[in-house]
Structure 1
Amino acid sequence: MSRRALAVACSAALLTGTLAITPAAASTAAASTAVASGPRTLMAKPCRSASADLAKGFLAKKIDEYGSGTTLRVPRSFTGGYFAEINFVSSFLYDDALTVIALSKDSSSAQVARAKMLGDVMLYVQQHDPIGDGRTRASYQPNPLITADGTPYIGSPAAYTGNQAWVGMALAHLYQRTRDRRYLNGALTAANWIESKAWSGAGIPGYTGGQNGDDQKLTFKASEHNIDIGAFFAMLHRQTGNAVWKTRSDRAFAFVRAMWDPAGGRIWTGTNPDGVTINRNPVPADVQTWAYLATRNSLYSKALDWTIANLSATDRGFTGISFSDTDVSKVWFEGTAHLIAALRLRNGPGDQARIGGYLASMAQAQQSAPNADGEGIVAASSDGLDTGFGDLYYASLHTGATAWYVMAANGINPFVL
């Protein structure tokens, strides 16, 4: 079977619970809008693996676009579509962190080597930042990553606390895989930066947003950032045995609990810059799914149900969830992968059927979404998905969405070691 035929058959199998080899059977199964209630486990896993392997191939190609071997380099985050039109090639370190975590779990030594190289990039930019306080920046430019004077080529200069935590989590995962102490040291550098720059006991206690591009303090407190920090510090507690990281993890998660809306069964975005006033608009998907993945607290299981009830989206025949309640007209594939991972962890009534449907939709998007290449995953099902936070997502191939798909398809929870 060709790569495309295999993916179509796999998409059909996820919908029906069996592998349809013939074109007619694949067409019939793919056209079905219902998920069968019968046995689903026999052939679904190999199909998910085939599609996820293609996605890992995409990540490898993106990493190797600007070099090979141990040469320090970063993959551009978005390829094709709108971003090709504007020649945007920035590499967001959040996306790179996801890629590190996804590939660090791979059985291929070549893929693990790519993950280690990206980890080495994180250590390099941390150690050679112009400010020199252990921070990393939101994005870097890939060509060249390292300028003539040895400093990294910075794209977006902001240093958000959530991004520092994701870099730290990526390094912690690498340390767990390799036992190379450099990665743990880098993770501790990121953690100490967060603690020194972002902790605030004023108002609702929690970690603030970090530093903006002009190195001014961001005083809002985001649920998303505190989820990331809570998970990251819990990893450090496990890896170092130092109880201070457990204390700090607990207080980050306490902020998330303070953002819980028991009446609505959802988590609010965070606070306004005053650190007290709760920001209730918009309500994003990621904090709902991430809170459950990071804490495994059954309380936040309700947030998954809120997400399905309020953020479900259908567009161009694809199904999933959107970014926030601002715009549910298009599917946000990264967020759909978040939900798959969370539902896999919960494994409640009806969750396996939902997982199968979402995975089938993402496998189909891998083949036929706008600007699809048969391997990567696009950020959104159509151009112009409004996040509600002042930016848009486009139907461009995205390393972040692809890495999340790899993790969701393979049962990887990036928030735990």
Structure 2
Amino acid sequence: MKRSSGTPLRRVLISAVVAAAIAVSIAPAASASAAAATAEDDWFVSPDGSSDYAASAAAAYEFLDGRVDEYCSADGMCLPRSYQGGFFSTPTWEFTSSFLYDDALTVMAYAARGLPDDIRRARSIGDAMLFVQANDPDYSDGRTRASYQPGSLRDGAVEIGSPASFTGNQAWVGMALARLFDITGEQKYLDGAVRLGDWIETNTADTVRAPFGYTGGQDAAGTSFTFKSTEHNIDVTAFFTQLATLTGDTVWADRAAIAEGFIAAMQADDDGHLWTGTNPDGVTTNYYPTPEDPQAWSYLATLDDRYSSSLTWTVDNLHAVDGPYEGPAFSSADVSKVWFEGSGQLALALRARGGEGDAGYVQKILSSVELAQRQAVNGDGRGIVASSSDGLDTGFGDLYYASLHTGATSWYLLAVTGYNPFRLAVDAEPPTTPGTGAPTGMPADAEGGGEALAESGSAAPVGLIAAAAIATAIGAVLLPRRRRARG
């Protein structure tokens, strides 16, 4: 499908910059893992030459740029719409809601590449997150809601789309703000993240009903959900671990350990995959359906080899084929269609694991996403659609559609760049405590882009790497032109 923005020179420049950034993120450097590198470790070159991941990533970033720039306030706060096209766009109706989970992913995708405009756009999203947090029409306790109407920012207002305050969403917004503090050193981002952490602890901690952990959050009326979600507790584990690192307060590490204990309690004894969580009683296990995301996220958040089996289970049980596309489905409820957001998640987790056969499977599912980027129904040649075709049943009362999605696009970029959103650079290494099952053979870029992130409070490495990438890109494009001009 024809791509609608960007001159040929601009597209070549962007592709070259992305290629340089990818080269930085996967550069073996002088490490033990580099010595063990093989041809199978080259994640970004399709064996048959059909997938140009650098050009694909550049186009995906263009898609995100357009979405972020579409709805911005005069003072530069921006929330991108999450979905567009197909089911979400008709002649008489346009769905423009911005889900903060998707927005958090967009922040992470920008951090993965780390160019100056990427950080500027990431900050514009972070500033919008702080604005809606501080100006909730009903609460002043630090929570955020599931989604907002982005156009309201232009009027300096907060218009809520979906009003629930789910625990996992709070954690994702918190991780995005924590990442922005880690990159920029601006205290306001850490303050906002701590407020979200305090809200989670105050309103969802359950150390009465075993297995202990964190419940699902609250509905629009402030009524607490009583179930515990494995996915939410993974999010809390990662978020609280980041807060412990950035604040130096060990209470966050203690709280993260409670959430991590819940994850371990949800692991099946026979095949090692993770159950959904508990039923509303907070005690008994919810066995159906089994979603993909806790399988991949458990490994990414902990880098603990005990969750390696959850990745294997996903490949064996959730693989879907839908026409020319293949990859994981959303859950065991419907394996007839590919959930492209899950493709990015699973590819990133398998890259981190680096086990036998993982490279081939990652190539398979990422090349399928790249194909969908180019030819999927309702696509634009840049963004990634949520599902390979309309009507993917999650099993939780929702459907996914073949509509352009910032979340799916961001997860694809995280997978291509090898950037782990659950871990800060300082927390990127796998556990080394005896008995924790630290993975072996993990790629050097398992945290992904760690070199492109500063230590807390310093953005210098971002600028250095961006400058080097841009210089390389400009030289690659302009030098041949100068040679031709000299005849």
| Same-fold call, TM cutoff 0.5 | yes
CA offsets, 1:24-49, max 9 Å, x none? xxxxxxxxxxxxx9667397199322
SS in 2 for 1:162: helix
Corresponding residue for residue 45 of structure 2: 44
Corresponding residue for residue 59 of structure 1: 64
CA offsets, 1:296-319, max 9 Å, x none? 110110000100111000112011
Contact 2:73 2:153 (8 Å CA) reproduced: no
Taking a change above 3 Å as real, the CA distance of residues 306 and 244 of structure 1, as seen in their structure-2 partners, is same
Superposition RMSD in Å: 2.2
Contact 1:91 1:139 (8 Å CA) reproduced: yes
Deviates more, 1:46-55 or 1:334-343: 46-55
Amino acid at match of 1:47: D
Corresponding residue for residue 244 of structure 1: 251
Structure 2 CA distance for aligned equivalents of residues 217 and 42 of structure 1: 44
272, 279, 295: which one aligns with 2:302: 295
Taking a change above 3 Å as real, the CA distance of residues 146 and 154 of structure 1, as seen in their structure-2 partners, is farther
Corresponding residue for residue 163 of structure 1: 169
How does 1:12-411 map onto structure 2 within 5 Å?
41=42, 44=45, 47-67=52-72, 70-85=75-90, 86-130=93-137, 131-145=139-153, 150-203=156-209, 204-411=211-418
SS in 2 for 1:320: strand
Contact 2:82 2:99 (8 Å CA) reproduced: yes
Taking a change above 3 Å as real, the CA distance of residues 3 and 88 of structure 1, as seen in their structure-2 partners, is closer
Structure 1 CA distance for aligned equivalents of residues 409 and 403 of structure 2: 11
Alignment gaps of 5+ in structure 1 = 11-36
Shift of 1:69: 7.6
Shift of 1:208: 0.5
Shift of 1:155: 0.5
Deviates more, 1:278-287 or 1:257-266: 257-266
Amino acid at match of 2:115: S
Structure 2 CA distance for aligned equivalents of residues 242 and 405 of structure 1: 34
Shift of 1:99: 0.3
Structure 2 CA distance for aligned equivalents of residues 145 and 42 of structure 1: 40
SS in 2 for 1:381: coil
Structure 2 CA distance for aligned equivalents of residues 236 and 384 of structure 1: 38
Structure 2 CA distance for aligned equivalents of residues 67 and 240 of structure 1: 31
Structure 1 CA distance for aligned equivalents of residues 140 and 123 of structure 2: 23
Shift of 1:145: 2.9
CA offsets, 1:232-252, max 9 Å, x none? 000011111111011001110
Percent sequence identity over aligned pairs: 51
Structure 1 CA distance for aligned equivalents of residues 258 and 196 of structure 2: 18
- Count of aligned positions: 386
SS in 1 for 2:384: coil
Taking a change above 3 Å as real, the CA distance of residues 38 and 100 of structure 1, as seen in their structure-2 partners, is closer
Contact 1:141 1:153 (8 Å CA) reproduced: yes
SS in 2 for 1:373: coil
Shift of 1:279: 0.2
Contact 2:229 2:278 (8 Å CA) reproduced: yes
Contact 1:233 1:249 (8 Å CA) reproduced: yes
